[in-house]
Structure formats: C-alpha cells, structure tokens
Chain A
Amino acid sequence: MSLTGSLLRATGPRGSLLRDRAMRLAERVTTPLLPADYLDLFDPLRAGADLRGRIVAVEPETRDAATIVIRPGADWAGHRPGQYVRIGVDVDGVRLWRAYSLTHGPRPDGHISITVKAVPDGLVSNHLVRSSRPGTLVHLEQAAGDFVLPTGGGKLLFVTAGSGITPVIGMLRNLFPVADSGVVRLARSADYDITVVHVAPREPDSIFIANLRALDEAGLIRLVARYSDVHGRLDLGELDSLVPDLSERTTFACGPSGLLEALEAHHAERGLTLLTEQFRVATIVAGEGGTVSFAKTGTTVEADGATPILDAAEEAGVLMPSGCRMGICYGCVLPMREGAVRDLRTGEVTVAEPGDGVKIQTCINAAAGACDLDH
C-alpha cells in the first residue's frame, strides 16, 4: 500500500463520510423538504443546486434575433465550441425546454451565450428574443453535442443557413477571438484553413454577418455569402465552383433539414465527409389517434382520437395508474417522453418534444399522433 493510498483513506473518505452524515442530518431537520429548497431562496446558482442560470444581458442581433448572455450556476462544467445547451424557460408560466447552440467559446467572464432567432409562432424563441429580461432565472442542462471543431487543424468547410450559423460562430470566435485592437491571431489557430458558405434570405437578416466579414477581411477565413433575394436559392451544383477545393475539405453543415438532406446526398455521391447539426429533428404535427408505446412495459397500443389513452391501454392489458377517470384527481398522470395528445374535454393539444417528459393525465387525453409514455 502506497503512502498516498493510506493518506487518502485517512482523510478523503472520512471527510466525505462526515459530509454525508451532515447532509443526512440536515435533511432530517428540513423534512419533508430538502435543505436545497431553503438554500434556493438565497442562492439558486450555488454549487450543488440544480443547474440554473441568470440572464445578464439580451443583445439584439437583427430585427428577429437576439443574443442572450447567461451567468450559469457554479456547477456548469464548461463546453466545447459548437456544442449546444438545453435551456428551460418559463413562457407565460409554463416551463418549456429547447436546445440552443452556444455562440461563444468559453468566455473569460464565465458567462455563456446563445443566439436565438424568433421563428413564426415559436413560443420559446419569440419569448427569448422579445420578452426576456436580465435578471430572469432559467434552467439549464450541461452542454452536449458532437458538432465540435476537430482539434489539430485541417481544411474545413462550413455550410450554414440562417440561424444555422450559431454553432459555427461559437467555433470561429474560439479560434479567432476579437479584442479591442482587432482579431487576435493565436498559434493554435494557424493550422486551420476554413471556408464558410453562409446562406440567408436577405443580408440584413443575417446574424453574425459582420463578424464573418471581419474574419474574411483579416484573411482568417474565406467567406462565401449567398442571399436568396440577390443570388436566388443555392443550388448545390454550384458548390464545386464556389469552393474549388471542396474535395479536400471536411464539411460541417447546420441549417434547415431540406438543405442538410440535399447536402448529405450530394456528399455521399462524391464520397465526401460531412457532419451535420439539425435544429429540428421532426416536427410533431397533431393528428387524430396514433400508436402509444409504453417504454417500461414494452407494449404498444393503437389508440383512436376519441378514446382516452387510459382506456385504450387498459383494454390492451397495460396496468395503468388511475383514479376518478374524469380528470379531477390526477391519479393517472404519466410522463410523455415524446408525442402529442388532445384533451377530450377542451380540445387542447399538448406536445412533448424528445426530452421534455411532459406529464399528462391519461384519463382525459387521447392520442393525437404517436406517443411514447414513460411507463
């Protein structure tokens, strides 16, 4: 046994044992709540708290996009440029979770930023761009995603469309930080040879176009900007002429699924490497009835649009929690991991995006599309 080993046994575990004991005692003092429920009153961003952040600034970028700067809680584990963060925002009192790419590399002030474009009828994006205020508490998950800059340099092509520029600007800002004196040239960035093909409907709506131009003017990247109102829709056939050394580059693309699918076909045909980031996997459109799957029980049930999920599931032999069966007792609530349901009393549709885990009453909701219940 080594010295460090025995030292560790003497201090480390005993220290954590004491901490555990103290924690258990504190829990007994605050039961049925947790000490955290009281500590949250004073410092919701402290170490050990659920991961949250506080909005410190809302900076308009274009007429329908804004950058939200957030001070994350003490347990924020950092991120790699290009990654995204899932953020829970209370929109008109309802907690909604969405993913947003981080638009800065790790910042010296420890803040993180996202840049949001308001989509028509979009609940969270419009709220963040138009109604969010500094000081507001938001909920966070740790950064995630594999759409990150390869280490060690190389020849890269970024194809971005609209707000798809956000993960890319995070990578570029990390490679080429801007100081008051202009763009800073870092030794580690010298090995990157980067071309950016950026597509947007019109120049004034183009987020971060000024940053991209500055990098282009400084000779750090080559920018090919294409505006639909000037150049028309981008035809991927043009890519060879826009980027002559296309075949030598690894492509990173982020934008609407139409563009990404076309690029995938285009690159597959030529045997080129492509990494994509999709902002929207599939739009959930509410319909009538659908397949309800129960993840834990392993059953799937075909339910029509007029039958409560509770009834349909029980008929198919799934053991379901239930109570009043009329919508008043909340004894039948289950988390919906993904899908759409319709309240048979009011017609109101509830949608759960992957990862939302929205809790629904099964006795008064019917399937309005495929549903995946955590039961």
Chain B
Amino acid sequence: MTVLQKKTGDDNVAAHLTPEDIEQIGVELDAIRQSILDQRGERDAAYIRRVIAAQRSLELGSRGVLLFSLFPPAWVVGTAGLAVAKIIENMEIGHNVMHGQWDWMRDPKIHSTTWEWDNASPSEQWKHSHNELHHTYTNVIGKDNDLGYGIMRVDEDQRWVPFYLAQPLWNFLNACFFEYGIAAYDLELGKNLASKKRRSSPEFRARAKVTLRKIRGQMTKDYVLHPLLSGPSALNTLGANYVANLVRNLWTHSVIMCGHFPDGVQTFERRSINGETRGEWYLRQMLGSANISGSKAMHFMTGNLSHQVEHHLFPDLPSNRYAEIAPQVLALFEKYDLPYVTGSLPRQVGSAWKKVVRLSLPNGFGAKAQATVLQLARPGRRDGQSAAA
C-alpha cells in the first residue's frame, strides 16, 4: 500500500513481473480494446440515445411534479426523481460523454467537445483536470490531485502535519458540497489563491469568471427560477432542489472515493513514471483503481464507474461495454497474479473512510496508542511492549 513500480520491496505487488510480462499485458489489453472497437455500433448508439432521452424525460417529469411540491407526496416523488436524474446526467451521461466515449458517433450533440453538464464546474475545466491530469497521472502522488484533492493525506508516505487531523471533517464537507469542491479543484483554487502573482494572472481570472458564470446559471435555475415557477410551492421546490443536489453530491462523492481510496489500491512515486511504457501505464491503471460489485442498477447509477478498473484502462470505450469486458480483464489479473480490488458499495465506502480517518493521524499512531494503553494496563511488561511498538 505504498509507492511502487520500479521499486522493489515486500509490498510491491507487481515485483514478480518481468518487463516482458508488463509489455505482454499491454498487448493483451490492446486486444480487448480492439475487440470492442470492432463491434461498437448501432446497439451502443441506441443505448446512449435511450439513456439521454430517459434522463431528460425523468428530469422534466420530476420538475413538473415539483411545481406542486406544496403537497408532501409530490415533494417526495419530485425530489427523488430529480436527484436520480441529476445523478444519471452527471455520471452515466456527462462524465462519459466528456471522456469522448461517444465521439465516434459523430453526433455533434453527444460529443466531448460540445457537452456541458449539470454541475458547477464548466466542462472545459473538468476535462482538463479529470481526463488529462487524473487519467494520465492516475495515483501518482504529487501529480494526480484527485488523490485527496490537495486537502487530504492519502498515503503513509505523505508527511503528516496537524492540518490533517481535521481531514474526516474536510472529507465530509467536500461530500456535501462536492460540485463546488470539484469546481474549486478544477480551478486549482488553493494553488492559484496562494500568491498574488497567480491570483492576478489573466488566465486564472478568465477561468474563474467562466466558473462563476456557470455557478450563477446553475444557482439561478435551481434556486430562483424553478421555485418561482412553482408559485405557492416556491419554498418547497427550493428545498427539493437543494436536497436533490445534496443527494447527488453525496452519491457522486461516495462513488468517486471508491475508485481510488479503498484498501488494496496502490499509489505511485513521482519518479516512477519517468519514461513509462504503454504496458507500464496500463499496469499502473490496473493497480491504482478499485471496482464496486453490485447489481445492474447500481452499476448504472454509478455511471459504470463501479467498473473503475476497466474505465481506467479504457477511458474512451462506451460505458455500456465495461461490464462485458470485466471478466476478460479479471482473467488477465489472475493470469499475472495481480490484485483486482473490488467489493460491495458499503464495504468500499467504509474502507475509504477508514483510510481517511487513519491517515488523519501520524503513521503508526493507532498501534502506538494501543501499545500505550497496554503499557498503562500492564506496567510490568513494559520492555516487551515497547520493542513491539
């Protein structure tokens, strides 16, 4: 569970692979990708069009019901529908369209270069920080800011400072306001606000303006116009929209935490990716991602990010195909004796949160604390205990 690749040691789960093995893994993964490219066609196009039509109908229907949100049943139904619609829009549609998964259809309305999603962060900035930085430098400490979003300690090798004591709180707040967290993160707000030079750079100002305009548009829609349209139900609709956004934030945050945080996922040293080959890049994606197991509906609601391993290997394959190739990918992991990290949603969320809490404390703090407690309880055996600690 520490920096690996091109570094030998007990916990290097890929230590047994020769460079030839690693390149062969790349060849076999390329073949899996090609097999999907060869079949990709009408069925896939029909799938995404159906999902988009269903999502828009659900959103329209839910917003329609919320016009009468004064009546509690309407509020409940409308809020639930809107939350689900927003989740689908962000995950199965927006995230995947912006990855270019549907660019091959040459439909300008379903294209990575034109899509704008229902989220605070403008697509353009999200594509840069997510597609480009996170997917290229996956789990490389110091290069992949998705690791802890720059506000959390996510690896034992990261130096502990007291600031991290509060990281469970940061993580919870980030979950509640996730879309704004993403927007701030895509703007690299922390870095850019830190110095006067960066703050006043025209490039940063221009980007910040775009983000603020997007946020204003989103807020006006959810918290002003739709409530006003609801007339006497205005306040109820406002609440409903807030809750739908909150639910969407908590859900997307949980799913995304499961992608790279749970136990068993590897992180990598900055210098380990110098001169990385395609095979090595693939290997890093294999070891740096974690799946979520569950029902078809669960996979759909996570935008198929539950197939995080497959998604990170092939970020531009249509999402409806990940489930299909998962068995082949798993077979490859088994063939090369590599750990395929997966688990149920509650288990993976729990594992990720446990890590957040554990790393909020200095390394070995738990063990030391335990030792201290034991020492206090059994002072007579002090020597043996301190040797173990």
> Which positions in A face B, CB cutoff 8 Å?
25, 28-33, 37-38, 41, 90, 92-96, 323-324, 326-331, 333, 345-346, 348, 358-359, 361
**What's the nearest-Cβ distance from chain B to residue A323, in Å?**
4
Cβ contacts under 8 Å, A96 to chain B: 106
Cβ contacts under 8 Å, B8 to chain A: none
B220 within 8 A of A: yes
Complex Cα distance, B282 from A220, in Å, reads 71
- Interface pair B225/A329, CB less than 8 Å apart: no
Give B220's nearest chain A residue, CB to CB.
A28
**What's the nearest-Cβ distance from chain B to residue A320, in Å?**
14
Complex Cα distance, B351 from A306, in Å, reads 46
Cβ contacts under 8 Å, B107 to chain A: 90, 95
- Interface pair B100/A333, CB less than 8 Å apart: yes
Q: A28-B220, A93-B44 are in contact. Are A330 and B131 (CB under 8 A)?
A: yes
- Interface pair A330/B100, CB less than 8 Å apart: yes
Give the contacting residue for B131; candidates A25, A37, A329, A359; CB below 8 A: A329
- Interface pair B217/A31, CB less than 8 Å apart: yes
Cβ contacts under 8 Å, A38 to chain B: 56, 60
- Interface pair B34/A346, CB less than 8 Å apart: yes
Q: Which of B73-81, B112-120, B262-270, B295-303 contacts A (4 or more CB under 8 A)?
A: B112-120
7 closest A-B pairs (Cβ-Cβ)?
A93-B45, A330-B100, A323-B132, A329-B131, A32-B116, A92-B41, A324-B136
- Interface pair B117/A32, CB less than 8 Å apart: yes
B316 within 8 A of A: yes
- Interface pair A330/B99, CB less than 8 Å apart: yes
B284 within 8 A of A: no
User: Which residues, 282 to 326 on B, are CB-close (under 8 Å) to A?
Assistant: 315-316
Cβ contacts under 8 Å, B56 to chain A: 33, 37-38, 41
Cβ contacts under 8 Å, B43 to chain A: 93
**What's the nearest-Cβ distance from chain B to residue A365, in Å?**
13
Complex Cα distance, B44 from A324, in Å, reads 26
Give A93's nearest chain B residue, CB to CB.
B45
Complex Cα distance, B111 from A330, in Å, reads 10
Chain B, interface SS category = helix
Proximity bits, B30-58, A CB within 8 Å = 1, else 0: 10001001001111111000000100110
B127 within 8 A of A: yes
Q: A38-B60, A330-B131, A358-B106 are in contact. Are A29 and B113 (CB under 8 A)?
A: no
Give A327's nearest chain B residue, CB to CB.
B316
- Interface pair B136/A329, CB less than 8 Å apart: yes
Cβ contacts under 8 Å, A328 to chain B: 131, 135-136, 315-316
Complex Cα distance, B107 from A330, in Å, reads 16
- Interface pair A95/B34, CB less than 8 Å apart: no
- Interface pair A323/B128, CB less than 8 Å apart: yes
- Interface pair B105/A95, CB less than 8 Å apart: yes
**What's the nearest-Cβ distance from chain B to residue A337, in Å?**
14
Give the contacting residue for B221; candidates A28, A327, A345, A359; CB below 8 A: A28
Complex Cα distance, B220 from A327, in Å, reads 37
**What's the nearest-Cβ distance from chain B to residue A42, in Å?**
10
Cβ contacts under 8 Å, A326 to chain B: 136, 278, 281
Give B221's nearest chain A residue, CB to CB.
A31
Complex Cα distance, B389 from A26, in Å, reads 66
Give A360's nearest chain B residue, CB to CB.
B103
Complex Cα distance, B281 from A345, in Å, reads 15
Q: A328-B135, A329-B135, A331-B127 are in contact. Are A29 and B229 (CB under 8 A)?
A: yes
Proximity bits, B93-105, A CB within 8 Å = 1, else 0: 0000011100111
Q: A29-B221, A32-B117, A359-B113 are in contact. Are A92 and B42 (CB under 8 A)?
A: yes
Cβ contacts under 8 Å, A323 to chain B: 128, 131-132, 136
Give the contacting residue for A330; candidates B40, B44, B103, B220; CB below 8 A: B103
Give the contacting residue for A94; candidates B104, B127, B131; CB below 8 A: B104
**What's the nearest-Cβ distance from chain B to residue A339, in Å?**
15
Cβ contacts under 8 Å, B200 to chain A: none
Complex Cα distance, B3 from A117, in Å, reads 62
Give A27's nearest chain B residue, CB to CB.
B217
Give the contacting residue for A329; candidates B113, B118, B132, B226; CB below 8 A: B132
Cβ contacts under 8 Å, B105 to chain A: 90, 93-95
**What's the nearest-Cβ distance from chain B to residue A95, in Å?**
4
Cβ contacts under 8 Å, B109 to chain A: 37
Which of B43, B128, B132, B278 has the most chain A CB atoms inside 10 A of its CB?
A: B132
B370 within 8 A of A: no
B386 within 8 A of A: no
B218 within 8 A of A: yes
Q: List 15 A-B contacts (CB under 8 A).
A: A29-B221, A30-B221, A32-B217, A33-B116, A37-B109, A90-B42, A90-B45, A90-B105, A93-B41, A94-B104, A94-B105, A327-B316, A328-B316, A329-B127, A329-B315
Q: A29-B229, A330-B103 are in contact. List 7 more A-B contacts (CB 8 A).
A: A90-B45, A90-B107, A94-B106, A324-B136, A329-B127, A329-B132, A346-B34
Complex Cα distance, B219 from A31, in Å, reads 10
Give A325's nearest chain B residue, CB to CB.
B136
Complex Cα distance, B118 from A29, in Å, reads 12
Give B134's nearest chain A residue, CB to CB.
A329
Cβ contacts under 8 Å, B111 to chain A: 359
**What's the nearest-Cβ distance from chain A to residue B92, in Å?**
16
Give B111's nearest chain A residue, CB to CB.
A359
Complex Cα distance, B37 from A345, in Å, reads 12
Cβ contacts under 8 Å, A41 to chain B: 53, 56-57, 60
Complex Cα distance, B117 from A90, in Å, reads 25
Cβ contacts under 8 Å, B135 to chain A: 324, 328-329
**What's the nearest-Cβ distance from chain A to residue B8, in Å?**
27
Give A36's nearest chain B residue, CB to CB.
B109
Cβ contacts under 8 Å, A32 to chain B: 116-118, 214, 217-218
Complex Cα distance, B130 from A323, in Å, reads 11
User: Which residues, 56 to 91 on B, are CB-close (under 8 Å) to A?
Assistant: 56-57, 60
Q: A31-B217, A90-B45, A93-B41 are in contact. Are A330 and B112 (CB under 8 A)?
A: yes
Complex Cα distance, B92 from A88, in Å, reads 26
Complex Cα distance, B109 from A37, in Å, reads 9
Complex Cα distance, B34 from A28, in Å, reads 42
**What's the nearest-Cβ distance from chain A to residue B286, in Å?**
15
Give B53's nearest chain A residue, CB to CB.
A41
Complex Cα distance, B37 from A176, in Å, reads 50
Cβ contacts under 8 Å, B112 to chain A: 330, 333
Complex Cα distance, B281 from A54, in Å, reads 46
Cβ contacts under 8 Å, B60 to chain A: 38, 41
- Interface pair B103/A28, CB less than 8 Å apart: no
Cβ contacts under 8 Å, B214 to chain A: 32
Cβ contacts under 8 Å, B118 to chain A: 32
